[in-house]
Structure 1
Amino acid sequence: MFDLWQELQKINHYHYQSQPGANSVMGWAGAGNGDVTCELEDQQTLYFKEAGQFTLQQNGYTVDTQNEFIWQRLNEHQIKLLHSRFGRNNAVELFVLSYHAQTQQWISDAAHVCADDLYSGTVQWQDDAVEFSWTITGPRKQENLHYRYTR
């Protein structure tokens, strides 16, 4: 079994790619990278702070980025993902990831609904890295995001 909970605690760096689909009007094609700082609380909650840069493909414009996810271990086969966009005490619940032994992946049980958009994700272990792929779909969005987290 790919133990996502244990691997998340070892992460130090990330590389990020964003690729809009044919029906996207957002235009967020680009790549970024940065560092991850992990803070474990009560053995069941992991604060996952990202700090880095993102560069837009179309014009080379680079912006500093900061992000914090909160991972909560529900049990051996389920981890809840939250985003602290409004602070840790008012975090947005994204979805629960459940382990699928057949594919050795962690897959969101249900999509997160944000206005007209649906967010879902898949996590797998590949080449000594945690690979996290997001899909965002909606009337204006068709986004494919890929994070590669390493030690």
Structure 2
Amino acid sequence: MMAEMEAVIQRLWQLLPQIGAFEFEGKNGAGSATDWTGRGEGRVQVTCHQEGWLFDEQGHYQTPHGKVLAMTNRFWWQRTPAGVSLSHLRYQSPVLLFELRSVAGRWQTHEPHLCGQDHYSAELVEEASGFRLKWQIQGPRKNERLEYRYSLMDAASPP
């Protein structure tokens, strides 16, 4: 069983440095007081970072009102004994978002990330051309669903 789990983790781990582009969609749910609805796309530069993979994302985001904004993120993927973890690098300081573990062919949040009263959870689904990372953020003022579609370098079309 342990060898099976290691093989599943290794397959995802080998996929991560092959990513070259992303597409993003955000949707507000009932009761949300934010305006994260919109779409984005861009490039991902993957580099080795402290025994993990750093995703340096650059692109643009379009609101439902047609406004186009610059979009940048820095995400740090690390291996854990039971899966992979994802941190957001803010001002070069990592903020651990969650650990993902493989459950029945999907990667799911082991425990939600708490930011104040907000709960962040995610699910990652591997695909032939990369993977999808679906986030859910729930709190007193938030009910958001975010979906990233990460594509392999050779499958990535210019944004």
- TM-score past 0.5 threshold: yes
**Corresponding position: 1:84 with 2:82:** no
**RMSD of the alignment, in Å?**
1.4
Paired position in structure 2 for 1:26: 34
Q: Give the C-alpha shift of residue 24 in structure 1.
A: 0.7
Give CA deviations for 1:33-65 in whole Å, capped at 9, x if unaligned.
0000000135x31111100000001x1111001
**Corresponding position: 1:133 with 2:134:** yes
CA distance in 1 between counterparts of 2:31 and 2:80 reads 36
Q: Give the C-alpha shift of residue 129 in structure 1.
A: 2.4
Paired position in structure 1 for 2:25: 17
Larger displacement relative to structure 2 (125-134 or 1-10): 1-10
Structure showing the higher helix proportion among its residues: 2
Paired position in structure 2 for 1:52: 59
CA distance in 2 between counterparts of 1:112 and 1:133 reads 14
**Corresponding position: 1:35 with 2:43:** yes
CA distance in 1 between counterparts of 2:49 and 2:91 reads 19
Gap runs ≥5 in structure 1: none
Q: Give the C-alpha shift of residue 142 in structure 1.
A: 0.2
CA distance in 2 between counterparts of 1:28 and 1:74 reads 31
Paired position in structure 2 for 1:61: 67
Q: Give the C-alpha shift of residue 127 in structure 1.
A: 4.5
Q: Tell me the number of residue pairs that the alignment of Structure 1 and Structure 2 aligns.
A: 144
CA distance in 2 between counterparts of 1:39 and 1:126 reads 21
CA contact (8 A) 1:96 1:110 kept: yes
1:86 is aligned with what amino acid? Y
TM-score, normalised to structure 1's length? 0.90
CA distance in 1 between counterparts of 2:36 and 2:55 reads 23
Q: Give the C-alpha shift of residue 148 in structure 1.
A: 0.2
CA distance in 2 between counterparts of 1:146 and 1:123 reads 10
CA distance in 2 between counterparts of 1:129 and 1:79 reads 16
CA distance in 2 between counterparts of 1:65 and 1:128 reads 23
Paired position in structure 1 for 2:145: 144
CA distance in 1 between counterparts of 2:122 and 2:79 reads 16
TM-score, normalised to structure 2's length? 0.86
